[in-house]
């Protein structure tokens, strides 16, 4: 919490600006850790060329370059989840990836889209829990864009 005292002559007011609660911060770190582990494992398997991953990407039909790109996206997103200040961006990045994974499971691959849906939901949860980070990142982006004009 940040406390500030404002004085106007004989009157004094105290304003409190509260950041995220401890429970929200701890919950976010737990979910971020679980997601980072899952995406490091999945992305690592894609980058390592695990036969099952090669087969899945053959079924998708975009070629093995797409497996490599997806693996990099997942590993980079997992790392971002663990860097203070970047968790919301990492979760948004991975959430978009899981949105397209759900579509891929619904329209191209056999099997259930439920694992991808669960990962999508958990990433959305992290974005919501870390929404203050996302707001800060968007403000910095807007300032940078306005300076560039």
Of 1, 29, 2, 144, the C-alpha closest to 88 is 29
Query: What's the pLDDT at 1?
Result: 38
The backbone torsions φ and ψ at residue 6, rounded to the nearest 5 degrees and listed phi first, read -115, 125
* pLDDT mean over 3-29: 66
What mean pLDDT, rounded, does the chain reach? 89
In tens, the pLDDT along 30-65 reads: 999 999 999 999 999 999 999 999 999 999 999 999
Please report the DSSP string for 96-137 in residue order. Answer: HHHHHHHHHHHHTSSS-SHHHHHHHHHHHHHHHHTHHHHHHH
Q: How many CB atoms lie within 10 A of CB 44?
A: 15
Q: Which regions of the chain does DSSP assign to beta strands (E)?
A: 2-8, 11-17
In tens, the pLDDT along 71-92 reads: 999 999 999 999 999 999 999 9
Q: Is the pLDDT of residue 22 over 70?
A: yes
């Amino acid at each position: 919490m940040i406390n500030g005292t404002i004085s106007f002559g004989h009157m004094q007011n105290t304003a409190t600006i509260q950041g995220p609660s401890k429970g929200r911060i701890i919950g976010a770190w737990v979910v971020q850790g679980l997601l980072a582990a899952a995406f490091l494992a999945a992305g690592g398997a894609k980058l390592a060329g695990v036969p099952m991953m090669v087969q899945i990407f053959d079924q998708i039909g975009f070629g093995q370059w797409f497996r490599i790109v997806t693996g990099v996206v997942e590993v980079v997103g997992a790392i971002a989840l663990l860097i203070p200040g970047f968790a919301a961006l990492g979760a948004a990045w991975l959430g978009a990836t899981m949105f397209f994974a759900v579509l891929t499971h619904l329209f191209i691959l056999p099997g259930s889209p439920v694992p991808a849906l669960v990962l999508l939901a958990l990433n959305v949860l992290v974005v919501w829990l870390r929404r203050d980070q996302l707001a800060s990142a968007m403000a910095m982006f807007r300032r940078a864009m306005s300076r560039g004009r």
